[in-house]
Structure 1
């Protein structure tokens, strides 16, 4: 991360988290500074090395380095989670929909997928549920990422014996829609109006109205054009996983902790830091800057519309079941996919 961003994190932690405030011992000697503690924690996250590797550089022992890491991830979650791991606001949704329409997918907001983090020190009693066959124990992360690699949703903790569908059944990714708390989205594809935004996914996900998969064996130029576009843009979440692991080697390497709760906090803190870096470096991105700038100026944002004045609906059981049925509507999924094939062919067919 850039130095100003790191110093901003150090300043917030030193002012609001007691552990990072510098103190003097009984002899009047100053203790470790917030800069030393944060540097040690960042190095452990970024390089994924053993705890005693920061001894020579920052003069911290292994025990102190472990405490710095634990307090650092808890401080990051406490101070920055509400801002950098939030659900999209109506303004965020409008921007994502504008970019999705520019790419040829009206109503598309993000892509969703799962990744696995190996758990080296998994307790023996738990290895059966965290291992699939003879594979090593891993913990699953379900994430939703946008075109600029911002991770909007993170659900971490299910064991490796669950696949993407089983993880989805436990995930809260559609809770806001089912509870009537999501903003109303309206868009049209091929002359037909829809009211549920969707994610791009791979073939394992179910055929719901909120998912659009590729065509496994495309027949003809229209299907091939759609499959190429969908498979290319679905890689946003794969790129986000790759960048996340490249920035924080502790996630790429096997987890060494015995405590699953601490592993979850490390993952959540790394995602928050990743989003902070994305926001800090976003001005340097070239993709869709014209479209995003048009949205920020209030100019044309296509046919997709988000109701900015929505109010949460009444959450009674009957309405929740109706909304849940709409999310899982297979007929709407088939119609949406058919319309998207025609729309993408009309927009990009001249290139095939």
Structure 2
């Protein structure tokens, strides 16, 4: 209801109005329910008509306006970069878990694009034989996604994806936050992310080394995998193959779900 009230006051599409026949049209709650139902169950637009009596075209408009509004009103809070206070909390949690200087775990997730245009299929298809779009993200223990970069074709290798990932911009521009910590008698000042073995051996990545360390590292690195699992469980639209062909709209749906 908090979301519905926000949309009623700010977005002209959502308030209830009279149609050409003179009767009242869809209520704001009706429109939002249709959009949320499509996101949660991953169903096609025409399926909503059986439950809510909303036509396919209207359902698509509801979801489009709903997704745009969610990003507009809540993006600054839920899609923000970690502040200095956020980073301090992440560093404290990382030190408690045995990884001082850790800022989270990084990994990628693939979203299958069922109706990918023919001209794009070779670019977006890899070994699986199905075109997918990559989400590269950083998540913490509480499943909060701090960085999300979506829209790259799956044929890109890890180096090319990382080159486009904006999370390292502050490091390249020497604006990365400083945090002093000591490991094995050596002092360090920059934070790092936990990764699996497919990532390059950069100073900002910590991969598994020995058996004991690997067990502890993988236990913490699973944070981002759990975040992807909860995201897909909560919003089935990002788990099922997407039926939308417009990549910009697909990207907005992913951001709204995050």
Q: TM-score, normalised on structure 2?
A: 0.96
> CA–CA distance in 2 between the matches of 1:50 and 1:118?
15
Q: Which residue pairs with 1:347 in the alignment? A: none
The SS at the match of 1:233 is helix
Alpha-carbon shift at residue 206 of structure 1 (Å): 1.1
**Residues 261-296 of structure 1, C-alpha deviations (whole Å, 9 max, x = no match):** 11011111110xxxxxxxxxxxxxxxxxxxxxxxxx
Alpha-carbon shift at residue 72 of structure 1 (Å): 0.6
Query: Which protein has the larger Cα radius of gyration, Structure 1 or Structure 2?
Result: 1
Alpha-carbon shift at residue 184 of structure 1 (Å): 2.4
2:229 counterpart of 1:242: yes
> CA–CA distance in 2 between the matches of 1:186 and 1:31?
60
Q: Which residue pairs with 1:37 in the alignment? A: 31
Unpaired runs of at least 5, structure 1:
1-6, 216-222, 272-352
Alpha-carbon shift at residue 176 of structure 1 (Å): 2.2
Unpaired runs of at least 5, structure 2:
none
> Given the superposition, is the C-alpha separation of residues 134 and 205 from structure 1 closer, same or farther in structure 2, using an over 3 Å criterion?
closer
2:76 counterpart of 1:82: yes
Q: Which residue pairs with 2:54 in the alignment? A: 60
> CA–CA distance in 1 between the matches of 2:240 and 2:174?
40
> CA–CA distance in 1 between the matches of 2:208 and 2:81?
26
Contact 1:130/1:139 (CA < 8 Å) preserved in 2?
Answer: yes
> Given the superposition, is the C-alpha separation of residues 64 and 208 from structure 1 closer, same or farther in structure 2, using an over 3 Å criterion?
same
2:138 counterpart of 1:138: no
| 1:303-342 matched pairs, under 5 angstroms | none
The SS at the match of 1:166 is helix
Alpha-carbon shift at residue 27 of structure 1 (Å): 5.0
The SS at the match of 2:166 is coil
> CA–CA distance in 1 between the matches of 2:24 and 2:76?
33
Alpha-carbon shift at residue 213 of structure 1 (Å): 0.3
Q: Which residue pairs with 1:279 in the alignment? A: none
Alpha-carbon shift at residue 145 of structure 1 (Å): 0.4
> Given the superposition, is the C-alpha separation of residues 95 and 25 from structure 1 closer, same or farther in structure 2, using an over 3 Å criterion?
same
Alpha-carbon shift at residue 26 of structure 1 (Å): 4.5
Contact 1:138/1:159 (CA < 8 Å) preserved in 2?
Answer: yes
> CA–CA distance in 2 between the matches of 1:204 and 1:54?
41
Contact 1:113/1:164 (CA < 8 Å) preserved in 2?
Answer: no
**Which of the pair is proportionally richer in helix?**
1
**Which of the pair is proportionally richer in strand?**
2
| 1:99-110 matched pairs, under 5 angstroms | 99-110=93-104
Between the two proteins, the alignment pairs up a number of residues equal to 258
Q: TM-score, normalised on structure 1?
A: 0.71
Contact 1:165/1:204 (CA < 8 Å) preserved in 2?
Answer: no
Alpha-carbon shift at residue 146 of structure 1 (Å): 0.3
Q: Which residue pairs with 1:255 in the alignment? A: 242
Alpha-carbon shift at residue 28 of structure 1 (Å): 4.1
> CA–CA distance in 2 between the matches of 1:112 and 1:141?
11
The SS at the match of 2:200 is coil
